[in-house]
Structure 1
Amino acid sequence: MTGHTGAALEIRGLSKAYVAGKPVLHGIDLEVEGQGITAVIGPSGTGKSTLIRCINRLVEPSAGEIRLHGQDLARLRGRSLRLARRRIGMVFQEYNLVERLTVMENVLSGRLGYVPLWRAWLRRYPSEDVARAFTLLDAVGLPEHATRRADALSGGQRQRVGIARALMQEPELLLADEPTSSLDPKTSVEIMELIATLCSEAGIPVIVNIHNVALARRFARRIVGMAGGRIVFDGPPEALEDSHLVDIYGGEEWL
């Protein structure tokens, strides 16, 4: 990333209530630097996914500002919102691939915001996009799977395609919503390593929701702990102690 200084993302007073008077997020303030992984941990239902989905406006914020390199995403509508969304890559828990399309077509769909609709419809992407897609498939370890249908892949392979598709956007920020929760422990580590390595090389900051505290400690440079729709811990992994985990998750029996 060139030309950007300070925080890549600035969130101010972000609130969200799906039902009036019952906020899921309570005035969240958060700044995310222009590099590294920020892991968001916390129990189910505490607003982690809502936070991530407010950032790319898959969920409409009730109040607050979400500034990506100074532009308030919360204010955007229509075409300006579509253009802003191109700048944010997303990796999903359930992969969100188009099952009947090939691996290559799924990766190339990361360019949908950039090519004319007729080109995408006819699957006539620019040659430089195709070349980049092959490079990314190589980077995620799937070069020989380019022509396979997505529904023929394992969960770990699908998530690798999802990462390649997100990076195909050349995003300024990558969001990952529980990217390892459907995967076995070994594959989970491999997926987190891929995200960490590829995003570090490309200079893309990452915000990842993750249930696995050990993975968060291993791969994140910063951990944000949420409870009841509020941030109750924010610091480096080495500062996260059992007492903080009790604040975040409640109870001590599970520790």
Structure 2
Amino acid sequence: MAAPPGAGGRPPLEIRGLVKEYVPGTPVLRGIDLEIGAEGITAVIGPSGTGKSTLLRCINRLVEPTRGEIRLRGEELTRLSGKALRLARRRIGMVFQEYNLVERLSVMENLLCGRLGYVPLWRAWLRRYPAEDIARAFALLDAVGLPDYATRRADALSGGQRQRVGIARALMQRPELLLADEPTSSLDPKTAVEVLELLARLTGEAGVPVVLNIHNVELARRFARRIVGMSQGAIVFDGPPEALETAHLRAIYGGEDWL
């Protein structure tokens, strides 16, 4: 499935020949070719251990690719280091499975962590963020349904509330791309739907494309514009949700009896 181009005529994210080997000669990712368009959610599905999380973490260089190319709006990310890599990372928001909040800090302080790549270190150390950033943080708290939680410590929140803060923190970066790594796996079914509805709405309003790793196929069908199915480190399906059939699921997950 071809990804729709961005404003410059090319997809915002282009991946070519991506390989990752944690052990030499044993690839976790086997030559991934993928383009992510300028809007909507692309859901990546597949069994545990097939490389879904590794794929996301290679994109923002939390994991170093073994070889291949990853281009964000034409900039080759795999060649960057030092300051250039830090500047590129702030363009990519990340929502984590286990929230990745600073538990002892307040909700507001966690949101403002999304601006760490944009303010001088002394300002962050003294918590002297620009008024514009503080106003945006309050606006995002309202948008995620937590307007009265600014001073609440992160460790006092429920799982669903923590993930809402995680989404707001990622959007504080004003990212060009958002990665979401199993953001609902620790949540009950009702809260999972609410969190994905929120993610879809806010990123849609902001015009930020999302790459979402998710185990729940039905939620992928419900919220994604496009589904990428992976098996044994390779892409075996790429298309719209309505094209995903039983035969594809068998190719992705293997076996017959679980369907």
TM-score range, shorter chain: over 0.9
The alpha-carbon deviation at position 108 of structure 1 amounts to: 0.5
The alpha-carbon deviation at position 138 of structure 1 amounts to: 0.3
CA distance in 2, matches of 1:123, 1:5: 40
Deviations for 1:42-92, whole angstroms, at most 9, x for unmatched residues?
000000000000000000000000000000111100100000000000000
Alignment match, 1:14: 18
The alpha-carbon deviation at position 128 of structure 1 amounts to: 0.3
Deviations for 1:184-226, whole angstroms, at most 9, x for unmatched residues?
0000001111110000000000000000000000000000000
- 1:84 equivalenced with 2:88 (yes/no): yes
Within 5 Å, give how 1:25-40 maps onto structure 2. 25-40=29-44
* Aligned residue identity for 2:170: A
Does the CA contact (< 8 Å) of 1:93 and 1:177 recur in 2?
A: yes
Q: Normalising by structure 2, report the TM-score.
A: 0.97
Does the CA contact (< 8 Å) of 1:89 and 1:169 recur in 2?
A: yes
CA distance in 1, matches of 2:216, 2:202: 21
Q: Normalising by structure 1, report the TM-score.
A: 0.99
Alignment match, 2:154: 150
SS of 2:29's partner is strand
Which runs of no fewer than 5 residues in structure 2 stay unpaired?
Answer: 1-5
The alpha-carbon deviation at position 4 of structure 1 amounts to: 3.8
SS of 1:144's partner is coil
SS of 1:145's partner is coil
- Give percent identity, aligned residues only: 79
CA distance in 2, matches of 1:78, 1:103: 29
The alpha-carbon deviation at position 252 of structure 1 amounts to: 1.3
- 1:187 equivalenced with 2:155 (yes/no): no
- 1:115 equivalenced with 2:114 (yes/no): no
Does the CA contact (< 8 Å) of 1:95 and 1:159 recur in 2?
A: yes
Query: Quick one: which of 47, 70, 74 aligns to 1:70?
Result: 74
Alignment match, 2:211: 207
* Aligned residue identity for 1:243: A
* Aligned residue identity for 1:15: V
Does the CA contact (< 8 Å) of 1:50 and 1:59 recur in 2?
A: yes
* Aligned residue identity for 1:146: A
The alpha-carbon deviation at position 234 of structure 1 amounts to: 0.1
CA distance in 2, matches of 1:3, 1:243: 36
* Aligned residue identity for 2:114: G
- Number of aligned residue pairs: 254
CA distance in 2, matches of 1:191, 1:135: 17
Does the CA contact (< 8 Å) of 1:6 and 1:34 recur in 2?
A: no
The alpha-carbon deviation at position 3 of structure 1 amounts to: 4.5
- CA distance change for structure 1 residues 3 and 247 in 2, over 3 Å: closer, same or farther? closer
Does the CA contact (< 8 Å) of 1:25 and 1:47 recur in 2?
A: yes
Query: Quick one: which of 41, 47, 51 aligns to 1:47?
Result: 51
Alignment match, 1:249: 253
Deviations for 1:91-113, whole angstroms, at most 9, x for unmatched residues?
00000000000000000100000
Query: Quick one: which of 135, 138, 141 aligns to 1:137?
Result: 141
Which runs of no fewer than 5 residues in structure 1 stay unpaired?
Answer: none
CA distance in 2, matches of 1:219, 1:165: 21
Alignment match, 1:56: 60
CA distance in 2, matches of 1:4, 1:149: 42
Query: Quick one: which of 160, 175, 182 aligns to 2:179?
Result: 175
The alpha-carbon deviation at position 5 of structure 1 amounts to: 3.3
